[in-house]
Structure 1
Amino acid sequence: MKTKPQPPKDLHELMQRATDMAGLSLGQISQLHGITVPENLKRDKGWVGQLIEHELGAVAGSKPEQDFLHLGVELKTIPIDRNGKPIETTYVTVAPLVDIQGLRWQDSLVFHKLQRVLWIPIEGERSIAVGDRRIGMPILWTPSAEEFAQIKQDWEEIMELIAMGQVEHITARHGEVLQLRPKGANSQSVTASIASDGQTKLTNPRGFYLKIPFTQNILARHFGH
């Protein structure tokens, strides 16, 4: 692997880098850095995001903070179909399942990470070889008061269920725009959570995800579909 690009100095530089990538394929970006393209993404689910992070000089890695903390920007790659519609929900962050007494919305990782998001749309149809998938124009998005209110309401309802020991009963249908789903390499991963009697028990880790219609709206507004 060649040397990692330096973090961008400011927002302008970040946006310039993101715009310069548009139209290139994942294979072309990989070649620049001497990174091997996987045959498919079944075992390498996070590969596309990591490649784009590398190209743009993101610094957070797997730390629970924004990818460009010094700029207050979170990076999200979003796979889209030929009509520009997101193919899957967007992972935001891991959900806290214990020690959540007194956790307020404005102190949550969901609130922190979604302050400002740089969306990078990427062709995601399985019929296109991974290396041939092209990168789209970047979108820098700050949630409107209304969008943040929707996310906050879902977050508060989900966190209340977690606090009541109902984590096992939360399905992907809970939440208008934000959902809670199992997050882990496999069903063997376990973490502590609150049980209905207030004790702790083991369960699969959970993550917060933005639902497809919500991210589709962001893309449609920007690209005028």
Structure 2
Amino acid sequence: MPNVASRELPIEQRQIATPFLWQPTFEQEQTLKKDFEDVLDQVSMGNVEQVDARLGEILQVRPKAANSKALTDAIGTDGSTIKTLRKSFYLRPQFAKQCLQQQFSYLSPT
């Protein structure tokens, strides 16, 4: 569900756009799959600490926690349990923007 907002806008001035179900193209799906598998490869090799937003073409991994004290268990490079920041998958902003532009261009009268 897209929303029009920025940190500068008060909550009452933010807008919710028309919800839609996004379906990736074949090429987008393949890129998402590759990005996801690249992250899984790094995590399975114990390199969870090296996984960051630089990895991935359209899918990125970023810290999920609001602060650096929210840690979770993970497997380190030597196979031992380590504490690390929680991480989540996010679409890169430029890619999300392209998806929104494509979706809403279909709704525009020609």
With the shorter chain as reference, the TM-score category is 0.7 to 0.9
Q: Say which of 40, 59, 72 aligns to 1:191.
A: 72
Correspondence for 1:137 among 14, 18, 21: 18
1:203 maps to amino acid: T
Q: Take 1:218 and 1:174, find their aligned partners in 2: how far apart are those partners?
A: 20
Q: CA deviation at 1:139?
A: 2.2
Say if 2:19 is the partner of 1:151.
no
Higher mean alpha-carbon deviation, 137-146 vs 157-166, is at: 137-146
Q: Which amino acid aligns with 1:179?
A: Q
Q: Corresponding residue for 2:88?
A: 207
Q: CA deviation at 1:149?
A: 0.8
Q: Could you say if the C-alpha distance between residues 190 and 126 of structure 1 is closer, same or farther in structure 2, counting changes exceeding 3 Å?
A: closer
For structure 2, the 5+ residue unaligned runs are none
Q: Secondary structure at the match of 1:197?
A: coil
Distance 1:125 1:191 in 2: 30
Q: By how many angstroms is 1:158 displaced?
A: 0.8
Q: Does 1:167 align with 2:48?
A: yes
Q: TM-score, normalised by structure 2?
A: 0.86
> Normalised by the size of structure 1, how large is the TM-score?
0.44
The CA RMSD over aligned residues, in Å, is 1.6
Aligned partners of 2:8 and 2:84: how far apart in 1?
35
Are 1:223 and 2:83 an aligned pair? no
Return the offset for 1:170: 1.8
1:121 paired residue number:
2
2:63 counterpart of 1:182:
yes
Q: Give the Cα separation in 2 of the matches to 1:184 and 1:171.
A: 14
CA distance in 2, matches of 1:206, 1:127: 26
Q: Higher strand fraction: Structure 1 or Structure 2?
A: 2
Shift of 1:164: 1.0
What amino acid maps onto 2:55 in structure 1? H
Secondary structure of the 2:41 match is helix
Point out where structure 1 has 5 or more consecutive residues left out of the alignment.
1-119
Q: How many residues align?
A: 106
